[in-house]
Each structure stands twice: as structure tokens, then as C-alpha cells.
Amino acid sequence: MVIVSYLVVAVCLIAPFFAGRILGKNFFGPDGPIMIGLSLQFIVGLILSIYVYGYEKQKKSAVLLGYAFFFLSTGFCFFAGKTLWLILFWELSTVSAFLLYQGGKWTSESVKSFIALLLASGVGVFCFTFWIYSPDDDLGRFFLVLGLLVKVEFFGFHFWLPEVHAGAPAHASAAYSGVLVNLPLILFHQFVVPWIGNSIFIKILIPLAGFGVLWAGLSSLFSKDVRKSIAYSTIENTNFLMLCMLLSALWKDSDVDSLRVLSRSFSFLFFVSLIHHSVSKTFQFLSIGYLLKLSGSSNVDHNTGIGRISGLPSSLLCLGTISFLAIPGTTGFITEATFVKLVAGVLEIPGQSAILVLPLLILVSSGLVLGAAGHLRIFLGMILSRPRTNWPENTPPKAIRYSLLLSGILILVVSLGMSGYTLYYAPSKEWLDENWYRGLSSVNFIGLAVILIVGLLGIRTKIVRRKLWDCGGEYKGSDVAIPSNGISDPLYASLGRYFTTEKGNSRLDEAILNGILKVLDMFKTQVNEADEESISINLAFSSATVVVLLFLIIGLKLAEGDLWKLFLNTLTR
């Protein structure tokens, strides 16, 4: 049954490409963004499928079938456009996520995770429905933007995402952050960027996106829950991606040539950052998620040194962190270096528009640095530090080792591909500075060579005598371990306390959630007692009922006139 499930997953990963060919999509032209989204889904999906075999101990077939429906419905969403099919396939991708949780027992965290995912999906579906059927184009566009902002975890609409990741399996978190989030970003690029540059929305969204990067970076640094810390890093990256698209839309139709060139450059940065976020965040969720499963806790300080006994080499576990630290040879280096180049380009452009954006870009740079520090804090505490707990030595399953190895190699190979792309197209593209990217590629190649030499060829110094932190006394107690809070706590009194509580929870998120609960309490009636698993099952059946009703509505719509015949002719053309 497991083999059959893998075959179904493979078919569902390939099917969207054939659907695009049948529908006449030009993947190497105007529909290039869809090609990027589907390619990332295909590669990441294969890695996730391998990872599931080693991560889950039971119901592997059910989890894999869940991924089959998830990949198929997410892939078809790219082609749905402004039709009811978008709602159908998006809701199907959410309902199929119920199967992703079947490998383990339902806990309060996993129930909250699935409920948060359903609520976000419900809000998005409502907004998209209004966009499709609204007779007023302006009002329809408003709901389109609102639905995509919820789906993309934009600042102010993000509060559901940390709850989703806090209780999701490691592979599901990787799927949400490495695959699912790409869909609303690419749809925003297709349907919103062409017209939002001249609207009032952009003047509101640009400052919010910039502050969202800074706030999410701070929350990632001070969060004491490892899963939520990486989730806040995802919010930081998605707000950065939104900012790139918004700045590209702002200057797209400018009368100043240099601003139009800058618009193309920010559009290029968006796609580079999208690829970087997808591959690097997938690795982080898979690697850190496996370590958390070994310890049984998601508290960052309770996991001090867990990487030492995991059976996975530190040279492998460090790849996601060094990518977010923008070390040469990784995808993060290309992204951060391009952003620095564009910030410098803003300084050289005369005019009030560029000057007003510059302070915002400085805040964004600070947020990116803080987010990178959050990843470094997790790596130093969980992987390099001496264990505080006497955990038994672990031997990871081969599927875990192979999937992490493939994911880590992907970070390096994609970085090499990005450098090759810029070197090839820079002479013919006005928005690619040839001299800058030639030097950038040289540094990236050197960094990649160093990573390969140190990591793969194993140049090491044999340790004859270990020197511990007690300056030579050879004391080996657990209290010489350096926990992750050793990095964040010194900054808490001066900076962190304004954004997070002493328990590491976001003050903003707590305020939003408490406000929502107070509003819901106003309509509270007598609640029947039910266990957590039955609540999740009932929600899943309710969502499935919605999907069935959508199928019925679509069938009735197609039955009207010659719509059904037209639909079949389109598929068989």
C-alpha cells in the first residue's frame, strides 16, 4: 500500500504540468511564475515524501495520500483564475491536510494547529468568493487583496500561522512554509501587482510590510518555542517578499527610467527570495522538527544539545542556518546581497519617492538581521552546545538522512543556478548590473567551494584533548552547556520586553487572539463536551461537506447552456 501511495504522490506532482500544457500556458513566457511555483512544489514534494517514510511510524499510506491530494489541489489552484475552481481546489488542499496529522496522536497543540488552518482557509475562501461574484470591481479587488493578505501571513493577518506550526508534524510545517505559501504570493503577483501601483492600497501596505519584517524578526529572536520561532521567521520572509512586489508595482509605471529599472530589479529579487525561502525553510522545518521529535519538547532551552546525540552531522544540520545567515555559497547570500545592492540603488535615485522608501528599507534590513540571529540562536543552542539532558544516542532512519541530505544539497545547487542565471543574462538585461553580479558570483563560487571542502571532504583537526568552559578543569557537568537564551536574554530588557512576554509569546498576537475570543464569548451558548480528536474530525467532515457542495454548484453551473461542452473542448484541445 505504501508503494501505491508513493506512485499516487508522483502522479499528483506531475499532473499540474500536463494540465498547464493542455490549458495552453506558456511556462517560459508570461506564465513563468507558475512554472516556478510548480517546480518548487515538485522538488520539495519529493523530499517531503521521502521524509515521511522515516518520520512517521504508523499510517504512512494515509499521510502520503493526504500529500497526493494536497499537491494536486494546490497545483491546480495556479490555473483556476477568477473562477469557482479556485475556491474548490484551495478548500480541497486544506481538507487534505487533515490526513497529514494522522501519523501521530491528536494533542491539544495539533488540534489548535488544524483549527487555525481551517479558520484561515475559511476567511480566504469567503474573500475569494466575494471577489469572483462581486458586481463592483473595486469592492471585488478589495476582497481579493484581503484574502491573499490572510493567506500570505501579512502583518496584522498573521496571528494564525504560529499556532498552525506549533502543533503540526515537521513535514506538514515544511509543506505549509515551502509549498503552500508560494501559492498566494504568486497569485498576488499575477492578479494584484498589475493594478495596485496606482491605488491607495499600496500606500498602506508598503509601511505595514516593512514594519512586519522588523516585528517578525524580533518575535523570532525572543520566542521560546522553537516551532513558533521558525514560524515567525516565515512571517518575516513573506512580508519581505510582499514588500519586494509592492515596491516593484509602485515604480512600474514611473516616468523616471531609473525607477522603472529599480522596479524590474525588485521583481527579480522577489523570485530569488521566493526560491530561497522555499528551499531553506523546508530544510529548517525538517531538520529542527526531527530534533524536536527526539526530545519530545518544543521549548528551545529544553532542547539544548539535542543535535549532539541525533546521529546527524553538524555540517549537515548547519546548512539551513548558514543560508539565513547569508553565507556565500547558499541561496540566502544571493538574496541578501541583491537586497543590499538595491538599497544602494535607491540612494542614487533622485526624487521624493525613493527617499521616502529608504528609511523603511533600513528597518527591513534590521528585521532580516534579527531573523538571522533567531536561526543562529537555535543552531548554537540545540546543535553545537553540550547537552543538558542525558539523552540516549540516536540512529536516524535512512529516509530522514537522505531527505535532509537532498534538501541541503538543494540549497547549494540552487545557489549555483542563481549565479549562473545572473552571469548569463546580466549582459542583456538592463536591470542586472553586470559588474556587480560577476563579482557576486565569484564570491558565491568561492564560498560554495569552501562549504564543499569542509563539509564533504571532511577536513578536520583531530581533537587530542578537549578544553571545556571551566578553563581547563575538565568539569563535564551539564551546567557548562550554553543554552539558546544566552543569546536572546541580554537583549530582552532593552528590546524584547516591548514585543514579547517573559514566556516568549508575542504581545501583539496575544492581544489579537484575546480580542477575537472576547468577541466570540459574546455569542457563547452552552457547549457540549467533546474530546479534541472528535472536534477535529467533525471540522474535517464539515469542510468535506463544503467541498461536495462546491462540486454540486459547479456541476449545476456547467450544466447551464453549453458551458459543459465548452469546458470539455478546452481540456481536449
Which pLDDT does position 34 carry in this prediction? 95
| pLDDT one-digit tens code per residue, 183-215 | 999 999 999 999 998 888 898 999 999 999 999
Between the two ends of the chain, the Cα-to-Cα distance in Å is 35
Q: What is the mean pLDDT of residues 166-175?
A: 94
372 in Cβ contact with 236 (< 8 Å): no
Which pLDDT does position 571 carry in this prediction? 47
Coil vs helix vs strand at 433: coil
* DSSP H helix total and E strand total for the chain: 23, 0
Which pLDDT does position 15 carry in this prediction? 96
- Block residue for cell numbers 506564465: 31
Indicate the residue type of 143: F
Average pLDDT, the chain: 85
Length of the chain as a residue count:
573
543 in Cβ contact with 91 (< 8 Å): yes
CA separation for the pair 444, 573 (Å, rounded): 46
The larger pLDDT score, comparing residue 433 to residue 45, is at 45
Q: What is the mean pLDDT of residues 349-376?
A: 80
Burial pattern 444-460, b for ≥16 Cβ within 10 A else e, equals bbebbeebeeebeeeee
Q: What is the DSSP string of 360-405?
A: HHHHHHHHHHHHHHHHHHHHIIIIISPPSS-PPP----HHHHHHHH
Coil vs helix vs strand at 452: helix
**pLDDT level of residue 557 (50, 70, 90 thresholds):** low
CA separation for the pair 321, 254 (Å, rounded): 38
Which pLDDT does position 352 carry in this prediction? 56
CA separation for the pair 277, 256 (Å, rounded): 31
The larger pLDDT score, comparing residue 530 to residue 57, is at 57
Indicate the residue type of 511: A
The larger pLDDT score, comparing residue 170 to residue 454, is at 170
Q: What is the mean pLDDT of residues 33-59?
A: 95
CA separation for the pair 538, 298 (Å, rounded): 28
Instruction: Show the cell assigned to 18.
Output: 500536463
Instruction: Show the cell assigned to 258.
Output: 531609473
**pLDDT level of residue 517 (50, 70, 90 thresholds):** confident
Among 50-59, 116-125, 352-361, 446-455, whose mean pLDDT is lowest?
352-361
Instruction: Show the cell assigned to 424.
Output: 548569463
Among 198, 194, 209, residue whose Cα is nearest residue 273: 209
**pLDDT level of residue 410 (50, 70, 90 thresholds):** very high
Which pLDDT does position 143 carry in this prediction? 93
| pLDDT one-digit tens code per residue, 342-360 | 888 887 776 655 666 777 8
For residue 75, pLDDT over 60 is answered with yes
Coil vs helix vs strand at 177: helix
For residue 462, pLDDT over 50 is answered with no
CA separation for the pair 344, 562 (Å, rounded): 57
Instruction: Show the cell assigned to 480.
Output: 557548562
Which pLDDT does position 168 carry in this prediction? 93
Q: What is the DSSP letter of 499?
A: T
Q: What is the mean pLDDT of residues 357-365?
A: 82
Among 53-57, 206-210, 531-535, whose mean pLDDT is lowest?
531-535
Among 293, 324, 325, 53, residue whose Cα is nearest residue 177: 324
Which pLDDT does position 463 carry in this prediction? 46
CA separation for the pair 528, 434 (Å, rounded): 67
| pLDDT one-digit tens code per residue, 473-513 | 555 555 556 677 777 878 888 888 888 888 888 888 888 88
**Phi and psi dihedrals of 299, rounded to 5?**
-70, 130
For residue 378, pLDDT over 90 is answered with yes
Which pLDDT does position 544 carry in this prediction? 63
Q: What is the DSSP string of 181-227?
A: THHHHHHHHHHTHHHHTTSSHHHHHHHHHHHHHHHHHHHHHH-SBHH
Instruction: Show the cell assigned to 506.
Output: 508575542
**pLDDT level of residue 461 (50, 70, 90 thresholds):** very low
Which pLDDT does position 101 carry in this prediction? 93
Residues 6+ apart with CB under 8 A from 311: 393, 394, 395, 396
Question: What are the residues facing 299 on neighbouring strands?
Answer: 225
Instruction: Show the cell assigned to 19.
Output: 494540465
SS3 letters across 261-325: HHHHHHHHHHHHHHHHHHHHHHHHHHHHHHHHHHHCCCECCCCCCHHHHCCCCHHHHCHHHHHHC
520 in Cβ contact with 50 (< 8 Å): no
The larger pLDDT score, comparing residue 36 to residue 547, is at 36
For residue 27, pLDDT over 70 is answered with yes
> With left for phi above 0 and alpha for psi between -120 and 50, is residue 81 left, alpha or beta?
left
Q: What is the mean pLDDT of residues 119-138?
A: 90
Question: Percent of the chain, pLDDT > 70?
Answer: 85
CA separation for the pair 478, 301 (Å, rounded): 13
Q: What is the mean pLDDT of residues 116-141?
A: 90
- Block residue for cell numbers 568539569: 475
Q: At what angle do helices 532-559 and 563-572 cross, to 10 degrees?
A: 100
Which pLDDT does position 554 carry in this prediction? 60
Whole-Å CA distances, 143 to 156, 203, 376, 483: 16, 17, 38, 45
**pLDDT level of residue 459 (50, 70, 90 thresholds):** very low
Q: What is the mean pLDDT of residues 441-459?
A: 82
